[in-house]
Amino acid sequence: GESVGLHLPTLSVQEGDNSIINCAYSNSASDYFIWYKQESGKGPQFIIDIRSNMDKRQGQRVTVLLNKTVKHLSLQIAATQPGDSAVYFCAEKWQGGKLIFGQGTELSVKP
Amino acid sequence: GAVVSQHPSWVICKSGTSVKIECRSLDFQATTMFWYRQFPKQSLMLMATSNEGSKATYEQGVEKDKFLINHASLTLSTLTVTSAHPEDSSFYICSASKTSGGFDTQYFGPGTRLTVL
């Protein structure tokens, strides 16, 4: 199918713990993936991206891992903070530049 | 920078009326813009791809006569929801594509909340 899916719709973590959000994609031809954070009532905010010629990319407190063999993406957030509470989407770039979004995972950080 | 704005941020209208939503790239030119809709607790669904100076390309299941898209300049695309009904109530989000180093990146607007009474 033409979809990018997530394994976990909700995730609750303790402040200070690490968070891992997963995503499965179906198009093996996709070569660019992005993670977005969306707070309530706002547009998606870019977090980190990765191209298919890489299997890992690190940003500030975030790491994206790409496993092309099993078509799986993950977003790791280190030392999760209350401000990280939001919905996280993975997106897959298709031909023509359009993005196909996954279903989203709601991250809740408990103080 | 790469800032995208939308106007209005929210709108309430009566059933049967038409509503226009604007999407602007403030500090870059965008030959391509995208329109998405998002229902509560759901993901973003691509509605159409808007190209400057040409007709928009609609995704399967999206009525082009219902959702009129005009990309009249390199910094402005508009989405008009015609004869709006309560089921059109949704969060509409646009993005604008910026090319840098031969690579396109989409920058998203803040969204427009449409409520049809």
Q: How far apart are CA B116 and CA B82, in angstroms?
A: 12
Rounded to the nearest 10 degrees, how much is the dihedral formed by the CA atoms of A27, B25, A64, A26?
-10
Cβ–Cβ under 8 Å, residues A78 and A11: no
pLDDT at A62 over 90: yes
* Residue-wise pLDDT tens digits, A37-49: 999 999 999 999 9
- Closest C-alpha to B85, from B48, B46, B115: B115
Contact A25/B at CB under 8 A: no
Which candidate, B95, B77, B84, B94, places its Cα nearest to that of B117? B84
- B2-12 mean pLDDT: 96
Residues of B in contact with A103 (CB under 8 A): 42-43
Between chains, do A42 and B34 touch, taking CB under 8 Å as contact? no
Whether B110 and chain A come into contact, CB under 8 Å, resolves to: yes
Q: B52 to chain A, minimum CA–CA distance in Å?
A: 14
Question: What would the mean pLDDT of A62-68 be, rounded to a whole number?
Answer: 97
Q: What residue of B is the nearest CA neighbor of A6?
A: B43
Judged by a CB distance cut-off of 8 A, whether residue A101 touches chain B is yes
| CA B109 and chain centroid, separation | 9
User: How high is the pLDDT of residue B65?
Assistant: 95
pLDDT of residue B12: 97
Chain B environment of A101 (Cβ under 8 Å): 43-46
Check residue B72 and give its pLDDT. Answer: 83
According to DSSP, the β-strands at A32-38 and A99-101 are unpaired
Closest CA to B86 of B24, B36, B19, B6: B19
Query: Is residue B79's pLDDT more than 50?
Result: yes
Residue pair A88/A107 in contact by the 8 Å Cβ criterion: yes
Q: What is the mean pLDDT of chain B?
A: 94
| pLDDT in the model for residue B40 | 87
Check residue A4 and give its pLDDT: 56
pLDDT tens profile B40-71: 888 999 999 998 888 999 999 999 999 999 99
- Give yes or no for A22 touching B (CB within 8 A): no
pLDDT band at A1 (very low <50, low <70, confident <90, very high): very low
Mutate to test the interface with B, among A23, A101, A107 (most CBs of B within 10 A): A101
Task: Evaluate if residue A25 carries a pLDDT over 90.
Answer: no
Cβ contact (<8 Å) for B93 and A96? Answer: no
Considering only CB atoms, which chain B residues are within 8 Å of A99? 34, 46, 95, 106
Give percent of chain B above pLDDT 70.
100
For residue A46, the chain B residues in CB contact (below 8 A) are 105, 107-108
